[in-house]
Amino acid sequence: MQRQYTVYLQSFISRPCVRMFSSLKLRVGEVLLPGDEFSFDTADRLSLTEAVKAEKVVCGPGLRRSGDRLLVCKSGVLRHKEPNTFWMDSQQRRYVPAKGESIIGIVTVKSGDVFKVDFGGSEQASLSYLAFEGATKRNRPNVQVGDLVFAQFVLANKDMEPELVCVDSSGRANGMGVFGGGGLLFSVSLGLVRRLLAPHSEILTDLQQLFPCELVVGMNGRLWVKSSTVQQTLVISNLLQSCDTMTAQQRQQLFRRVAQGAL
């Protein structure tokens, strides 16, 4: 899961951090609400005989440091990853851009040197026409208004207009760029997208057993599916939209029913 969180990660280093760590560890898997806090009491006595190690606690999205306390600022479930990363796993559909994340965007305006791309955020991002593989001033990429692009953020501040590129740092497309003939675009919650992109994703293994399809996953909650027939594409899109809120067992049951063609 750590791969997907390229959002800010604050390090919280403090000497008697052992307490913080253990109090966080205790509540992993619980539902927490904004306002819940973790603080360590300085009144607690430190054992002089035990070796006190300085433990680093890395806070992911949803946790924020305020002075000597750790505050929860998003409601959700507290998750933990070895060795010392904690974050809040929350359910939301509104995407906030973050640097390095790849998203599916829709080109809305083509003006001069720059395309404006809508990705579902508060502003539209800008995508320069030179940010495509093999694009030069004379050789412009073939992008029309209304096309789908798979791009990643190079600049995603809350104060500035976000910027996208369709090449990676070495100048190669690497799968990014314009795509999309013949498939269906739909949107799901961000939690489902993260679960799909996690390594060894269960949902993907289940989906693989159904029918062959192409799937493009954008971290802004948009998915693009293409299968051999329109019917199968519709089936897959409906399945993905509905398995958002299902437990693993319900989902496997549903997929099994579809595989038998009985639904």
Partner 1 sequence: MGGWGMGRGGRPTENTCRMKDTPLSNCERDFLLKAIEEKKRLDGRQTYDYRKMKITFGTDYGCCFVDLGKTRVMAQVSCELVAPKESRPNEGIMFFNIELSPMASPAFEQGRQSELSVKLNRQLERCLRNSKCIDTESLCVVSGETVWQIRVDIHMLNHDGNLMDAASIAAITALCHFRRPDVGIQGDEVTVYSPEERDPIPLSIYHMPISVSFSFFQQGTYLLVDPCEREERVMDGLLMIAMNKHREICSIQSSGGIMLLKEQVMRCSKIASVKVSEITELISKALENDKKARKAGERCGFAESMPQERITALKMDETPVEMTDVTDRANDIVQNTEAPPQTVPSPVVPVPGVGQIGQGLQNAWGLEEDDEEEEDVSSHEEEEEQVTKMEEEQHEKESREGYFIYFNWVHF
136: buried, middle or exposed (CB in 10 Å: 19+, 13-18, 0-12)? exposed
When the beta carbons of 47 and 231 are compared against partner 1, the nearer one is 231
When the beta carbons of 9 and 213 are compared against partner 1, the nearer one is 213
Residue 83, preceding bond cis, omega within 30 degrees?
yes
What's the token pair of residue 73? Answer: 């600022």
Q: Tell me the closest approach of the beta carbon of residue 261 to partner 1, in angstroms.
A: 4
CA 140 vs. chain centroid, Å, equals: 31
Round to whole Å and give the CA distance between 128 and 110.
10
Indicate the pairing of strand 85-89 with strand 76-81. antiparallel
Side chain identity at residue 255, one-letter code: F
* Strand ordering across the sheet containing 55-59: 10-14, 55-59, 85-89, 76-81, 31-32
When the beta carbons of 69 and 172 are compared against partner 1, the nearer one is 172
Q: What residues make contact with partner 1 under the rule CB under 8 A?
A: 3, 31, 75-76, 91, 102, 106, 108, 118, 120, 122-124, 134, 144, 146-148, 150, 168, 172-176, 179-185, 197, 199, 204, 208, 211-218, 224, 228-235, 237-239, 241-242, 244-247, 250, 258, 261-263
When the beta carbons of 21 and 124 are compared against partner 1, the nearer one is 124
Contact 35, 89 (CB under 8 A): no
Q: Tell me the closest approach of the beta carbon of residue 54 to partner 1, in angstroms.
A: 33
Q: Tell me the closest approach of the beta carbon of residue 212 to partner 1, in angstroms.
A: 5
Q: Tell me the closest approach of the beta carbon of residue 45 to partner 1, in angstroms.
A: 38
Q: Tell me the closest approach of the beta carbon of residue 7 to partner 1, in angstroms.
A: 16
